[in-house]
């Protein structure tokens, strides 16, 4: 096994996903199968091989840090599930 | 006149000759949708009133001699692209009521030309899938055989083009999501070079792989639509500042002396359907008969593409999809306790199983202690794969391969087995990993009458060359006009 049920529960917590017990079983089996398939990559010697960089983007892109028109407050809030005046409203944090 | 059957090229002539109005053409497409989409399920959202208003405006512009090439042309848009004022679901329940306050860059470009946007097409949730069965709404069916999948994730766009429910469509391609459904539905689909088309307003799945693509009834239409959307956009920092050639003006390739690279490693792939092999071989033979020279090339690292892809894409997805938190837009689970509970409830109810699976794989691959073993390793494999392609392009002008190992499979055939589904992308993934352009052109039919595509892969920014060979192929094979009976 590459991954255990406990690890799936841990990863799900990190990703803010709550899984039902039966889902934990299925996801563990499926993710394990996928990760086992990936194992083949470890047979490959990649010593000294650089990580990938898109060859078409050789240089970093900069722009002037200048103010420009953006979304209005009203537009930014238009899709909010809950709002209060000019703010997003969320359930209590503490 | 059955306007819905027209290609962009022929419709544009009729529109300019005032032999048909954009309003008539658009109405014809809407009637066609009303008649057949119940059997197919290509559209998630129809923009009937907006489309007719755009058509009227286009008709006014068409009275002038300088109307742009796409003026008055009814197009479909994959629901992964933001459309101002028109809901954009990305195939997910979590965005069921999301109405973007802005247009994606490519949508602005199409609107500037006066194109008519008839609706938003179905897709696998967040573009994660190869069959459109992962749509949170309903599956789309293949117009050639409605018991089969149209491919994915741009299955709705491919089916809409194949069933004449639009003249052409936009899709997106992260691992083959334009080319594979194009192949399964018998239409032309191109995925441009990474950076060729702006991703501004494209809902992010895997940012280092995502690219907007085009699906059309023939190669010439494909070139026309690519022409309209390609080019630099300062709002996408990965957008390439490279001049756009005149794709739509370029003719067929000169086949005499053209070096076509056949990938040795792909020919030996296990599980490739005999009909797919036969169609591929006879297409290569047809090209050689016209004077093209076949060169055998190797992509030794292509066999690792599936592994590398299914680490990189889920890793990037797990990060990109962290934004769906029920606060700023989209679904929020009601009646949760505190903020943290709300995050958990919203994401658990809002995302489908395939999305959750990829978030889990990605979060695991990026979590403490695993980054080097997974993401870093996969990224190094990407570099090696890029080098393979550089080597191949030193020996040939274009690389060719099948698009998918089998013709369209049946609905439900692979849904229980994610890994088998992932393996159906084996020929298309390498192109995204390297950031190269690739096209699928119809090249034949299986013994059961299902379309089969032929993939042409070019070097960076070689879209013109790809389209040239695709045009030649289309002329030689003469199957571009074939449509399913519905």
* Closest listed residue to residue B11, CA positions, set B56, B62, B53, B64: B62
B383: which chain A residues are within 8 Å (Cβ-Cβ)?
Answer: 49-53
Q: What is the DSSP string of B69-98?
A: TTTT-EEEEETTB-BTTB---TT-GGGTT-
Query: How far apart, in Å, are the Cα atoms of B238 and each of A1, B190, B219, B235?
Result: 39, 19, 27, 9
If you measure CA to CA, which chain B residue comes closest to A70? B102
Cβ <8 Å between B419 and A33: yes
Cβ <8 Å between A19 and B242: no
Query: How far apart, in Å, are the Cα atoms of A15 and each of A19, A27, B66, B125, B366?
Result: 11, 14, 52, 18, 11
In Å, how far is A56's CA from the nearest CA of chain B? Answer: 7
Give the total residue count for chain A.
94
Quote the tokens at residue B361: 């794989």
Tell whether A25 lies on the interface with B, counting CB pairs under 8 A: no
Phi and psi torsions of B452, nearest 5°? -130, 135
> So what's the ipTM on this one?
0.96
Q: Is B177 a catalytic residue?
A: yes
Pairing of strands B398-402, B451-457: antiparallel
Pairing of strands B259-263, B293-297: parallel
Tell whether A4 lies on the interface with B, counting CB pairs under 8 A: no
B 65-124 → A contacts, CB under 8 A: 97-99, 101-102
Buried b (16+ CB within 10 A) or exposed e, B444-456: bbbeeebbbbbbb
Out of B234, B345, B359, name the one closest to residue A15 (CB): B359
A76: which chain B residues are within 8 Å (Cβ-Cβ)?
Answer: 101, 328
Quote the tokens at residue B362: 């990605």
Q: Is B401 a catalytic residue?
A: no
* Closest listed residue to residue B215, CA positions, set B183, B189, B179: B189
Q: Which residues contact B252 (CB under 8 A, 6 or more apart)?
A: B468, B471, B472, B475
If you measure CA to CA, which chain A residue comes closest to B324? A16
Q: What is the DSSP string of B169-194?
A: EEEE-SSSTTHHHHHHHT-EEEEPPT
Query: How far apart, in Å, are the Cα atoms of B54 and each of B57, B72, B112, B121?
Result: 5, 8, 11, 18
CA distance A29 to A33: 6
Q: Is B23 a catalytic residue?
A: no
Per-residue pLDDT tens, chain B, 486 aa: give them. 799 999 999 999 999 999 999 999 999 999 999 999 999 999 999 999 999 999 999 999 999 999 999 999 999 999 999 999 999 999 999 999 999 999 999 999 999 999 999 999 999 999 999 999 999 999 999 999 999 999 999 999 999 999 999 999 999 999 999 999 999 999 999 999 999 999 999 999 999 999 999 999 999 999 999 999 999 999 999 999 999 999 998 889 999 999 999 998 887 777 899 999 999 999 999 999 999 999 999 999 999 999 999 999 999 999 999 999 999 999 999 989 899 999 999 999 999 999 999 999 999 999 988 998 899 999 999 999 999 999 999 999 999 999 999 999 999 998 888 888 888 889 999 999 999 999 999 999 999 999 999 999 999 999 999 999 999 999 999 988 889 999
Q: Are B51 and B75 in contact (CB under 8 A)?
A: no
Cβ <8 Å between A56 and B351: no
């Amino acid at each position: 096994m590459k991954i255990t049920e406990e690890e799936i529960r841990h990863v799900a917590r990190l990703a803010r996903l709550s899984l039902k017990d039966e889902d934990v079983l299925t996801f563990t089996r499926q993710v394990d199968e996928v990760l086992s398939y990936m194992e083949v990559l470890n047979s490959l010697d990649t010593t000294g091989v650089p990580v990938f960089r898109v060859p078409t983007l050789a240089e970093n892109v900069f722009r002037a840090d200048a103010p420009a028109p953006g979304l209005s407050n009203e537009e930014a809030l238009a899709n909010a599930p809950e709002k209060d005046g000019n703010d997003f409203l969320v359930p209590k944090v503490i | 006149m059955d306007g819905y059957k027209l290609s962009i090229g022929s419709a544009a002539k009729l529109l300019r000759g005032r032999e048909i109005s954009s309003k008539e053409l658009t109405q014809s497409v809407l009637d066609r949708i009303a008649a057949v989409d119940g059997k197919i399920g290509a559209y998630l959202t129809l923009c009937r009133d907006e489309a007719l208003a755009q058509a009227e405006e286009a008709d006014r512009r068409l009275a002038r001699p300088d109307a742009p090439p796409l003026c008055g042309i009814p197009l479909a848009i994959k629901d992964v692209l933001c459309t101002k004022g028109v809901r954009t679901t990305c195939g997910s329940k979590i965005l069921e009521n999301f109405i973007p306050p802005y247009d994606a860059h490519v949508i602005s470009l199409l609107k500037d030309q006066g194109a008519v946007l008839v609706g938003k097409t179905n897709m696998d949730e967040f573009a994660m899938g190869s069959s459109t069965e992962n749509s949170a709404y309903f599956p789309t069916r293949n117009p050639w055989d409605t018991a089969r999948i149209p491919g994915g994730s741009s299955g709705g766009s491919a089916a809409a083009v194949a069933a004449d429910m639009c003249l052409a469509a936009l899709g997106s391609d992260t691992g083959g999501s334009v080319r594979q459904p194009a192949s399964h539905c018998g239409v032309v689909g191109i995925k441009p070079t990474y950076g060729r088309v702006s991703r501004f307003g494209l809902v992010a799945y895997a940012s280092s792989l995502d690219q907007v693509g085009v699906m059309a009834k023939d190669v010439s239409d494909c070139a026309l639509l690519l022409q309209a959307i390609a080019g630099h956009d300062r709002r996408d920092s990965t957008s390439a500042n490279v001049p756009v050639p005149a794709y739509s003006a370029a003719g067929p390739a000169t086949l005499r002396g053209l070096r076509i690279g056949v990938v040795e490693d792909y020919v030996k792939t296990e599980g490739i359907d005999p009909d797919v092999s036969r169609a591929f071989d006879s297409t290569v033979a047809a090209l050689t008969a016209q004077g093209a020279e076949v060169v055998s090339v190797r992509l030794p690292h292509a066999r690792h593409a599936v592994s590398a892809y299914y680490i990189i894409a889920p890793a990037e997805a797990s990060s990109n999809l962290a934004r769906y938190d029920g606060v700023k837009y989209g679904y929020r689970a009601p009646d949760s306790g505190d903020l943290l509970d709300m995050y958990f409830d919203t994401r658990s109810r809002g995302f489908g199983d395939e999305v959750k699976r990829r978030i889990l794989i990605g979060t695991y691959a990026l979590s403490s202690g695993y980054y080097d073993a997974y993401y870093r390793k996969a990224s190094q494999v990407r570099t090696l794969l890029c080098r393979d392609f550089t080597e191949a392009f030193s020996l040939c002008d274009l690389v060719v391969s099948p698009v998918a190992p089998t013709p369209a499979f049946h609905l439900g055939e692979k849904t229980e087995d994610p890994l088998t589904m992932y393996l159906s992308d084996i020929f298309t993934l390498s192109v995204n990993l390297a950031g190269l352009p690739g096209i699928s052109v119809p090249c034949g039919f299986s013994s059961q009458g299902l379309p089969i595509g032929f993939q042409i892969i070019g070097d960076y920014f070689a879209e013109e060359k790809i389209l040239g060979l695709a045009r030649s192929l289309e002329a030689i094979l003469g199957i571009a006009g074939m449509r399913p009976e519905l």
